[in-house]
């Protein structure tokens, strides 16, 4: 459907909204709550995906998880921590570069340039990733893991 903006405000078009997801208050049995919370801790899919599949808001599921942790702490039971995979490193490949021929200096050459010497370039599965100075190691690890998983 194509709408022209020339007649904005004078045509018979009305605005409407479509709400998806939860819209009513539900009473979840404790067994169902426990099952959904356990599923959200399984690590096979994100908490958001679990909430969507059960037709509930993500914030409600995070609230249930927080309440479970609080109840477990009060009882002196520690929830198992999610195992963190050690970062994996890939071999570095160094390529010799031909020195570029000297160029004639212009007026703009006197302006300082940002140095890219501290950047790391990775090529994984045909994707080129440039990592700048000061990048978070956990973020780098997550990007590499995601790229490996997409092959």
Q: What is the pLDDT of residue 99?
A: 74
Question: Taking a C-beta distance cutoff of 8 angstroms, is the pair 50, 39 a contact?
Answer: yes
pLDDT in the model for residue 44: 84
User: Do 37 and 75 fall into the same domain?
Assistant: yes
> What is the DSSP code string of 101-112?
PP----GGGGS-
Q: Is residue 3 part of a domain?
A: no
What is the residue range of 31's domain? 15-82
Same domain membership, residue 71 and residue 49:
yes
CA–CA separation, 36 vs 64, rounded Å? 9
Pull the structure tokens for residue 149.
């998983």
Last residue of a domain, one of 24, 58, 82: 82
CATH code for position 61: 1.10.10
Residues of the chain below pLDDT 50? none
> Both 147 and 92 in a single domain?
yes
Same domain, 55 and 90: no
Let me know if residue 105 belongs to a domain. no
Q: Which long-range contacts (C-beta less than 8 Å, at least 24 apart) are formed by 49-52?
A: 52/21
Strand partners, 121: 130
Q: Is residue 90 part of a domain?
A: yes
Q: pTM of whole model > 0.85?
A: no
pLDDT at 36: 93
The whole-number pLDDT of residue 25 equals 76
Q: Write the pLDDT tens digit of every residue in 58-87.
A: 999 999 999 988 998 899 887 766 666 777
The pair of three-digit structure tokens given for residue 73, joined into one six-digit string = 């702490």
Domain check: are 77 and 88 in the same one?
A: no
Q: What total number of domains does the chain contain?
A: 2
Report the C-alpha dihedral over residues 140, 143, 144, 145, rounded to 10 degrees. Answer: 120
């Amino acid at each position: 459907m194509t709408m022209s903006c020339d007649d904005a405000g004078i045509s018979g078009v009305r605005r409407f909204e479509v709400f998806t997801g939860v819209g009513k208050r539900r009473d979840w049995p404790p067994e169902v709550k426990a099952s959904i919370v356990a599923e959200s801790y399984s690590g096979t899919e994100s908490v958001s995906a679990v909430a969507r599949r059960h037709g509930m808001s993500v914030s409600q599921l995070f609230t249930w998880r927080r309440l479970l942790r609080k109840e477990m702490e009060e009882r002196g039971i520690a929830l198992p921590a999610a195992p963190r995979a050690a970062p994996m490193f890939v071999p570095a490949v160094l390529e010799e570069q031909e020195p570029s021929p000297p160029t004639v200096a212009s007026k703009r050459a006197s302006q300082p340039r940002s140095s890219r010497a501290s950047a790391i370039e990775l090529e994984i599965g045909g994707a080129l990733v440039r990592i700048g100075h000061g990048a978070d190691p956990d973020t780098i690890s997550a990007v590499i893991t995601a790229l490996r998983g997409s092959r």
